[in-house]
Amino acid sequence: MKDIFSYLSGGKENSILHKMIRILLGSNLIVILVLVIIAFYGLGAALYQAEEMGHKLGEVSYQNSSELLVKQRQEELMYITSDNAKIINLYMVSNIYDVQAIANEASELYRHSGLYPSRNVAVPNSDEFQPLKIYLQHGTEVNPDNYRQEIALMANIEGFFVRLMEVNDMAESFFITSHHNYTLSVDEPDDVEGSKESIPDVIYNAVETDWYKQAVEQGKPVFTDVRMFSFYNEPGLFCACPYYDDNSSLLGVAAMEISLENLRILVKDTNLPNAGFCFVLDKNGRVILSSQSEAYQAGEEMELPVDLKKDIRTANNQDLSQIAQNMTLGQKGIQLAEIDGDEYFVAYAPIECTGWSFATVFAKDDVIAPVEQNKENIELLTADLMDDMERNIDSIVLFMVLSILFLLLFVIKIGQKVSGRFVSSIQKLTNGVRDLTKRAIVGTLHAFGELPEKGNKRSNNSFTQRVEIHSGDEIEELANCFNIMTEELEGYMNTLVAETAEKERIATELTLAQDIQMGVLPHKFPPFPEHKEFDLFASMESAKEVGGDFYDFYMTDEHHLAITIADVSGKGVGAAMFMAISKTILKNLLLTGKNMTLSDIVAHANNQLKEDNTARMFVTVFIGLLDIRTGHFEYVNGGHNPSLIYEREKGAFRYLEVEPNFVLAGRKNITYESQSIILKPGDSLFLYTDGVTEAMNNKEELYGEANLLSALNASLNPNAPEALLAEISKSVADFAGEAEQSDDITMLGLTYLGSVGED
């Protein structure tokens, strides 16, 4: 291979042409080799992939068909559910209308008693009891003779009862119960004919029943819970409605006894897909109707038979329990549930007037059975296609081999011509650069030690050497740029030397300024080892070489410690100079102004700083004076961030309450207000500049006062200033991450330990 490259490049192994041919042919050979591998791998895997494709196609078709069929069945099931819930609701609403009509009729009889004749009413007995005839029942303590006239009047409702009985298939009986505890009833014929044992008892305390009490309490039509009526051994319930006189005083309750047999037949005859079933759940979570069996005939083989005692919300099956919970809450929807090891779709909708819920159920597996046959047909079709592919694979392989060989020869031939033409311009430019190098470096630099001055140019070392290339492409542009570069090289080198010297001078001065600034700040800790009444530590990190923050602390006399933290507007040398002036003025006033209050000292400092402040700089400051004997701490906050105090008794930091005083050097003749607190032994102060709370991470989120308070309260060293400041500095650094520091970060911590001898 090496000999082939040398032959194509003319024998120059290290030439650009040789390298380009190697790159061109080598890369093409690699590409061709990769394509060959991919092609043969693809052909080899084609049969396997085709087979897999058939399986996947069948699976996708199976899944899509299954999803579509399930969706269609869900929609169908939801339609059936909603429709049947509405039908049952209409049946029950019609019962409400019938009971309301009875209540209205009873009220009319009472209001217009003079328009109606008196009627005889029999008590139920074997001799006089007849179907569709009104009969009387009364409470244990009631004497019917006391209300004989009223009973004879209300018996005129018999005809109304009979007409309603003829049109209402769900009614077993209609009756009214007076508030005097007597009841007038008409029963459905089939339940009493031919059976002496079916005759009702004369004694019936109706006012003690749940349907009577519920109707009276709610003052409107009500449905009772479903119960099993022993009278005809079927599940049923009562619908009751109160009726009143013209003064809205209760006269009694109209009611009907409802059999659920007709509703059971309706539910049983519901047209369900795939042999599903349906049921009705009452508001207590009981199955009161089911298409599987009658309540009194339910067998163990039924998944959800009628059971008036069991609340299926408490069932061990979590799916069924959740569905029952949703149904009793009046919700509407469809869910997948596992019942006895099989998956079912359960759709449910509320029956609004009763608080019940209707549900339909069908098995999931019954839906997707036709899809399996479709999957088998797809697999057979795929197998036929694979047979056709195998017959054509050999001819495809042969064609690919011949095509690759032809392509390789073509690339070698074209690559040699294109590379030679391209490299010719580069070789010409190379010769020009080589000549320039000899003249500039060997001649000029060796002779003069630097690039020659304009007046000292020599003809044999001239930088005006030009390379003439007219290739019309980037190489020609590169040659023109090279010619311009040679003309500007001398001036550029002179400028570069001058700028480098200036930058070195500025860097030296900034380093000196930083050393001076840090020297101005006290940095000896502990600062006053002879005073055991307090512990103090401070730190500052500048955002630039020099910054505008400063802190200060000193004893103004034997018993008073002054502390200061401040932030000058701006950055750099100007801010550092203004910082030095501010620090000096504040300290001088505190040390010399013995007869001045702390607020007066700050006001005088403000006026002095404002004088001749042409740069319009300002400084925020927090300055305090601590009596180390008593812990009395007086402070003034001049537009600075509120400091924090640690109260040992409470075991937590909090922000100090500060007056909103104006910044210093902002405006003359400002009045400042001082504040004071009493520090108890073990209490600490934490002072800081906005470089802490305004530290920013790469998401441009601020560290903030909340994070600062949280970090302070999380500290294990609230009474050790040096360790506390180290923890906060680390917290800020961790929050900022790799983001560049944008402001000076200055902190000061002070812990009051109490006067000497104090516990």
| Residue 370 neighbours by CB distance under 10 Å | 10
CA angle 332, 333, 338 (to 5 degrees): 130
Within 10 angstroms of residue 134's Cβ, the number of other Cβ atoms is 25
- Is the pLDDT at 453 greater than 50, yes or no? no
Q: Which amino acid is at 469?
A: I
721 pLDDT more than 50 = yes
- Mean pLDDT over the full length of the chain: 82
- pLDDT greater than 70 at residue 392: yes
**pLDDT mean over 3-15:** 58
**The amino acid at 57:** L
Alpha-carbon distance of 149 to 118, in angstroms, equals 7
Q: Check if the beta carbon of residue 203 is closer than 8 Å to that of residue 140.
A: yes
Rounded distance between C-alpha atoms, residue 165 and residue 187, angstroms: 8
Q: How far apart are CA 728 and CA 732, in angstroms?
A: 6
Task: Kindly give the pairing relationship between strand 342-351 and strand 333-339.
Answer: antiparallel
Angle at 756 between CA 753 and CA 759, to 5 degrees: 60
Q: 479 with 469: CB under 8 angstroms?
A: yes
Strand partners, 162: none
Tell me the per-residue pLDDT of 461-473, one tens digit each, with 9 for 90 and over.
455 556 677 666 6
pLDDT of residue 452: 47
Q: Per mean pLDDT, which of 292-296, 459-463, 577-581 is the most reliable?
A: 577-581
Residue 220, pLDDT above cutoff 70: yes
Lowest-confidence pick of 461-470, 562-571, 672-681, 708-717: 461-470
Question: What domains sit in the chain, N to C, each tagged with a CATH number?
Answer: 1-97+369-425 (no CATH), 112-259 (3.30.450.20), 263-367 (3.30.450.20), 530-690+742-752 (3.60.40.10)
d(CA 84, CA 344): 19
pLDDT at 447: 43
pTM above 0.85, yes or no: no
Residue 464, amino acid: T
- C-alpha span between 58 and 69 (Å, rounded): 16
274: alpha, beta or left, given left = phi > 0 and alpha = psi -120 to 50?
Answer: left
Indicate the SS3 state at residue 22.
helix
